[in-house]
Structure 1
């Protein structure tokens, strides 16, 4: 499968590449200045997404081990929009913030900022579980372990980020032996097995709106509001996620307001509420304000 996707004016390619370049060992993602290759299981099939950037467009190729079925093709289309950061239009937030004394100047300093997503909802939520309450370097190492233990490789040689079925087959003891805490390992496998077994429906539909999915995730032992909101943001591209529990968001708000201490979660939630229904982009701009590159990759 091959297609070309037009990129919007002012597209910040560097942000996209930075997000997908996090693992320097590059077992599942290979990133160069003009190319992104990522392996992931889509519709039960190992798939390589190979994206070459050329000016204002992206030439996207997908190689599916086992054939490009309609289900795989649909999953590829979704994954491409996610990894390219094309789900959320940033302009409505920019319009909302234009006259705002606090976020307006910050947003104007970071034009074109977008939310880059994980390839799949499952990847976003498992990454949120893996990365919660630990430093980024350790989280990336655990993510790499998770991918390798799931043991699915594309014919290109890249390891695939697994789907729920592959993750559900893992053993808690194997994760514990590779530096996962028991709580994190049990939550990860509990989530994977519920998703694989149908107890958790992660597909948005008229009968299963995003609010119902959020409530179902919150009912899973070990999954809290931060994990859910991060998953909605990075997995679904939901435009109105409140990341008031995120330490980096609170640190950015402290700096923005010029205060001596971080605002608590309640005050942060109240602040972000001003930007509903575009709180996801508010979070992106706060994250970016902490980054030397201003890339919004919280």
Structure 2
């Protein structure tokens, strides 16, 4: 099977990627048999997409939606230059914490200065794109990988620090304990260059496990 060249943005591209992984790794084949093929999970790319992920960190889904709606109404059009013109007080009035205001300002500055080129990221390998994003103040590994996977559909993005993904990988591989981010980085090597497809499937597996009575994850 061919590795999908356009990323994980359609059911067909995910099917191709998972078929290749299943042929290489019986663990993936068994997980796919149990929970089925996951759908694409896409968000808008670019500055707005990354900002949306930052806003949603460490808050409930409902809170994230409310804060994002207020911020999106305040910053119109939602572009780096427009956000930069707002005061910290104005941005915090939308519900943002001080660290998130600093991060969004850093992202806006990187975009306007050319330090980050959102259009270029999709053509880079996952590790290089990850490093470019993490070079922005306030953007950590999880945020970078979630952006690559959900906003760009990058076939090899691997959010090693995601707790649900850790639980699912540990269960699928029969590990005695949930692997940490460092261990996940090593485990993910078995699924290169399609770690993003493995991640989508393992998230589906996590939901599958949570739905089974008496199974703790």
2:171 pairs with 1:171: no
1:119-138 deviations in Å (ceiling 9; x for gaps): 22223311221222333332
Task: Give 1:241 deviation, angstroms.
Answer: 0.6
Residue aligning to 2:27: 102
| Aligned-residue RMSD, C-alpha | 3.1
2:183 pairs with 1:267: yes
Residue aligning to 1:280: 196
Higher RCO (CA 8 Å, separation ≥ 6 residues): 2
Residue segments in structure 1 that go unaligned for 5+ positions in a row: 1-80, 153-161
User: Would the alpha carbon gap of residues 199 and 268 (structure 1) be closer, same or farther in structure 2, given more than 3 Å must change?
Assistant: closer
2:181 pairs with 1:256: no
Tell me the TM-score normalised to structure 1 length.
0.59
In structure 2, distance between residues paired with 1:246 and 1:102: 20
User: Would the alpha carbon gap of residues 261 and 142 (structure 1) be closer, same or farther in structure 2, given more than 3 Å must change?
Assistant: farther
Q: Are the counterparts in 2 of residues 123 and 163 from structure 1 also a CA contact under 8 Å?
A: yes
2:161 pairs with 1:245: yes
Larger strand share, 1 or 2: 1
In structure 2, distance between residues paired with 1:112 and 1:147: 33
1:217-243 deviations in Å (ceiling 9; x for gaps): 221111111111111112222110111
User: Would the alpha carbon gap of residues 98 and 134 (structure 1) be closer, same or farther in structure 2, given more than 3 Å must change?
Assistant: farther
1:227-278 deviations in Å (ceiling 9; x for gaps): 1111111222211011111112112223434556421112222222211100
Q: Are the counterparts in 1 of residues 47 and 107 from structure 2 also a CA contact under 8 Å?
A: no
Residue aligning to 1:225: 141
Q: Give the alignment of 1:24-173 within 5 angstroms.
A: 85-86=9-10, 89-90=13-14, 91-98=16-23, 100-152=25-77, 162-173=78-89
In structure 1, distance between residues paired with 2:167 and 2:91: 32
Q: Are the counterparts in 1 of residues 38 and 200 from structure 2 also a CA contact under 8 Å?
A: yes
Q: Are the counterparts in 2 of residues 121 and 202 from structure 1 also a CA contact under 8 Å?
A: yes
In structure 1, distance between residues paired with 2:180 and 2:164: 12
Q: Are the counterparts in 1 of residues 37 and 201 from structure 2 also a CA contact under 8 Å?
A: no
Larger helix share, 1 or 2: 2
Count of residues paired in the alignment: 203
Tell me the TM-score normalised to structure 2 length.
0.78
1:41-95 deviations in Å (ceiling 9; x for gaps): xxxxxxxxxxxxxxxxxxxxxxxxxxxxxxxxxxxxxxxx99x933981113322
In structure 1, distance between residues paired with 2:121 and 2:27: 36
In structure 2, distance between residues paired with 1:174 and 1:205: 31
User: Would the alpha carbon gap of residues 164 and 213 (structure 1) be closer, same or farther in structure 2, given more than 3 Å must change?
Assistant: farther
